[in-house]
């Protein structure tokens, strides 16, 4: 979605699949990964999700979230068994169970669950256009005001990001003669103490905040002179899909959920 914040859009069938139906699928999978079914079966469902992700988002995009959560997974693997030591022991030291089967299984379950949740969220966000997502929230009864805040905020993130970079450049250039080379824009200096960096960032943050806070009345003016605040009902130019398309996408989602339910019942 990073690219989407900056204005590019996906166009595949999955991207155009209705976000409301996608939401149903998301919820279904979330519930699935929390169900107390056998670890092996959970792993199978995870494999399905990973395959779907590979198909819709490509291999490198699929590996990316996995790579990102790898440290956590390792942590869970290492730290969960010490807390859960009932049941048959796998490893015992002087009569004290250090590693038990149930502990290992629990760790596996947690890992599969977390990876599964990560992947379905990633799939959901990666195949959905932000504007459509917000429109779907509105369909789920999110007030227009909140959706406007969301879309405005998304629009201002790159603006403030650029502002921050410029402010940082301006501050550092001005203070360059202090003897600390500042180097190129955007290159973070490593090796300086955490609190020192924090203290030095206060002037930059002050400028950024002042500039941002001053934009508030200006943005409010822009909104009001385009009619925000009127008492009449707003019309909507953009809509999500037509009834027919929604029914079709919804039917696919319901069918998928049905398959999952049957599968869970058959393979507990």
Partner 1 sequence: MIPTDPHLSIRNLSFSYPEYSGIAARHLFGGLNLELSAGSIDVLLARPDQGKTTLCRVLSGLIPRFSGGQLSGEVRLGNLRLLEQDPYELLEQVGLVFQHPGEQLLASRCDSEVAFALESLGVPRSEIETRLAAALHTMDLERYRRQSPKILSGGEKKKLLVACLLAVDPRLWLLDETLEELDSGTKRQLLQLLRDRGRSTLILSAKWHDLFREFANRIFLMEDGRIRAVGERPGSRDFQRLLLKRGFVLPGEGRNTGKASLPERTSGSPGRSESTDPKTLLVAEDLYFRYGEEGRGAGAAFALQIDHLRLDAGRILSVVGDNGSGKSTLGRLLCGLLRPESGQIRIRKGEVLQPAAVEELNRFTGYLFQDPDLQIFLPTVFEELALGLKHLNLSMEEIRRRVEETVSLFGLPAGEAPPSLMSYGIRKKLQAGVYYLLERPLMIIDEGDSGLSVNDFAEMIRIFRKQEGALIFITHDHRLADALADEVVELKSGSIA
Partner 2 sequence: MNDKDKKAGIAGSPAFRIASLAILTALTAVFTYMVRIPIARTGGYLNLGDVIIYFTAFTFGPVSALVAGGLGTAITDLISGYSQWAPISLVAHGLQGLVAGLIASIAWRGKPSTFNPFWVVAAVAGTIVMAGGYLVAQILMLGAGAALFELPWNLLQNLIGVVGAIPLTIAVRQAYPPVTKLRW
> Which residues of this chain interact with partner 1, rule CB under 8 A?
6-7, 9, 130-131, 151-152, 154-155, 158-159, 166-167, 169-179, 181-185, 203-204, 206-207, 210-211, 214-215, 217-230, 232-239
Beta-strand ranges (E) seen in the chain are 89-93, 96-100
Rounded to whole angstroms, the Cα distance separating 204 from 170 reads 9
Neighbouring C-beta atoms of residue 249, cutoff 10 Å: 21
- Please report how close the Cβ of residue 225 comes to partner 1 at its closest, in angstroms: 5
CB under 8 Å to 118, separation ≥6 — which residues? 65, 66, 69
Helices (H) and strands (E) in the chain, counts: 10, 2
Rounded to whole angstroms, the Cα distance separating 9 from 5 reads 9
CA distances from 104 to 52, 220, 229 (A): 28, 56, 58
Residue 56 near which of partner 2, partner 1, none (CB within 5-8 Å, type-dependent)? none
Residue 65 near which of partner 2, partner 1, none (CB within 5-8 Å, type-dependent)? partner 2
Q: For residues 67 and 161, which CB has a smaller minimum distance to partner 1 in the complex? A: 161
Question: Cβ-count burial of 116 within 10 angstroms (0-12 exposed, 13-18 middle, 19+ buried)?
Answer: buried
Under the criterion CB under 8 A, does residue 187 sit at the interface with partner 2? no
| DSSP secondary structure of 220-266 | HHHHHTTTTT-SSPPP-S-----HHHHHHHHHHHHHHHHHHHHHHHH
Under 8 Å between Cβ of 128 and 57:
no
Under the criterion CB under 8 A, does residue 122 sit at the interface with partner 2? yes
From the list 17-25, 80-88, 170-178, 259-267, the region that binds partner 2 by CB under 8 A is 80-88
- Please report how close the Cβ of residue 245 comes to partner 2 at its closest, in angstroms: 25
Residue 175 near which of partner 1, partner 2, none (CB within 5-8 Å, type-dependent)? partner 1
Under the criterion CB under 8 A, does residue 140 sit at the interface with partner 2? no
Residues that bind partner 2 (CB under 8 A): 1-2, 5, 64-65, 68-69, 71-72, 75-76, 78-80, 82-84, 106-107, 110, 113-114, 117-118, 121-122, 124-125, 145, 148-150, 152-157, 159-161, 164, 194-195, 198, 201-203, 205-206, 208-210, 212-217, 219-221, 223-224, 228-229
């Amino acid at each position: 979605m990073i690219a989407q914040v900056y204005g590019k859009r996906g166009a595949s069938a999955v991207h155009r699949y209705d976000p409301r139906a996608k939401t149903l699928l998301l919820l279904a999978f979330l519930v699935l990964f929390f169900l107390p079914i056998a670890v092996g079966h959970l792993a199978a469902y995870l494999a399905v999700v990973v395959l779907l992700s590979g198909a819709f988002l490509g291999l490198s995009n699929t590996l990316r979230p996995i790579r990102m959560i790898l440290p956590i997974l390792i942590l869970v693997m290492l730290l969960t068994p010490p807390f859960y030591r009932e049941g048959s022991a796998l490893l015992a030291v002087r009569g004290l169970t250090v590693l038990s089967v149930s502990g290992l299984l629990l760790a596996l379950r947690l890992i599969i669950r977390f990876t599964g949740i990560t992947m379905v969220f990633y799939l959901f966000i990666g195949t959905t256009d932000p504007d459509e997502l917000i429109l779907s929230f509105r369909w789920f009864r999110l007030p227009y005001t909140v959706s406007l805040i969301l879309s405005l905020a998304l629009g201002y993130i790159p603006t403030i990001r650029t502002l921050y970079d410029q402010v940082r450049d301006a501050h550092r250039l001005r203070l360059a003669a202090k003897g600390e080379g500042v180097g190129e824009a955007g290159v973070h200096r490593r090796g300086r103490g955490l609190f020192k960096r924090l203290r030095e960032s206060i002037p930059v943050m002050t400028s950024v905040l002042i500039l941002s806070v001053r934009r508030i009345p200006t943005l409010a003016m822009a909104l009001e002179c385009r009619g925000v605040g009127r008492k009449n009902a707003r019309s909507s130019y953009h809509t999500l899909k037509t009834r027919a398309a929604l029914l079709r996408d919804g039917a696919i989602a319901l069918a998928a959920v049905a398959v999952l339910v049957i599968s869970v019942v058959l393979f507990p």
